[in-house]
Amino acid sequence: METLSPTKTLGRLKDYYKPIVLELYLAHQSEGSRAGLPTVVVRTSGCTHRCYFGEGGWCDSWYTSVHPERPTYSFNDIVKIYDENPHVKEMMLTGGSPSMHGALVNELTHFCFGRGIVLTLETEGSHFLETDYPIDLISLSPKFSNSIPKLGVTTPLGTVVDEKFIKRHNKYRLNKEVIKNMLKYHLSYHYKPVWVPGDEKSFKEIEDFRVEMDIPKNQTWLMPGGSTREELIPHYAGTIKKALEVGYNFCPRAHIIAFDEDRLV
């Protein structure tokens, strides 16, 4: 089991000024059980995965995973955006894979606890973090076989997928023991699998995982695959139909509909 125990904070004062976050902006949460609430998006760079969903496209934040960019914002910038927007009481910590940045996540649990901010960690479940304060909500989106890049396809910046690329994606792809510990330790969770209509093999994986992890259907949000409007919208009808058929919630991923491939920085 891969377990990180970041019981220390960022430490030295200068660490609070180091670039550690790639994107930082105000938004409304658009996925899962807290959809519609004003939030601050804190996006880290770097990921254990390289997700490719075929007709559903590459990861919608491929610039943090497939081709990770350098961070530009510091911890003090996070403090500043909340100082300037005291009405916002939510934080969405996302990536990439934010669980790779244990000291940052732990420091943010202190910050959010002190300010009465609800902290959501969006994660694929590759690493378990035993933070000093349990995280309010784990937004769990584990990656199934429908996320595995296809040999020979081209990434958004032109890299051709080879066996090494696929092996890297699969290394931490479905860490079930880590996920069990994560859901047990932190305060609450929801389950957000990505699905492209017609792929019954991957849907069986989604449902089998839900049953194995004892996740209630009312905590499950089925998301249509797609990183752009053009990719996403054709999958709406089939995903809604499947969610209704099996008793899941449906996640519209409204940020992609609203902003397409625009980046809010």
Chain-wide mean pLDDT for the chain?
91
Output the pLDDT for position 60. Answer: 82
pLDDT digits (tens, 9 = 90+) for 88-97: 999 999 999 9
Give the mean model confidence (pLDDT) for residues 210-228: 94
First to last CA, the chain: 35
Per the structure block, which two tokens stand in for 144? 């199934």
> What is the pLDDT at residue 8?
52
Does 3 have pLDDT greater than 50?
no
Residue 13: pLDDT band (50, 70, 90) is low
| Contact indicator for 265, 238 with CB cutoff of 8 Å | no
**pLDDT single digits (tens) 45-86:** 999 999 998 877 898 889 999 999 999 999 999 999 999 999
163's tokens: 């066996």
2 pLDDT band (50/70/90 cuts)?
very low
Enter the tokens of residue 222.
Answer: 């089925």
Q: How is residue 147 written in tokens?
A: 């996320």
**Could you tell me the pLDDT band of residue 12, with boundaries at 50, 70 and 90?**
low
- According to the model, what pLDDT value does residue 233 have? 94
Right CATH for 18-259 from 1.20.1290.10, 3.30.70.920, 3.20.20.70, 3.40.50.1170: 3.20.20.70
> Which tens digits make up the pLDDT trace of 105-116?
999 999 999 999
In the chain, what are the domain boundaries?
A: 18-259
Residue reference for tokens 């997700």? 51
> Among 3-7, 145-149, 251-255, 256-260, where is mean pLDDT lowest?
3-7
DSSP result, 9-49? ---SGGGGGS--BSEEEEEE--SGGGTT-EEEEEE----S-
Q: In 76-117, where do the E strands start and end?
A: 90-94
pTM above 0.75, yes or no: yes
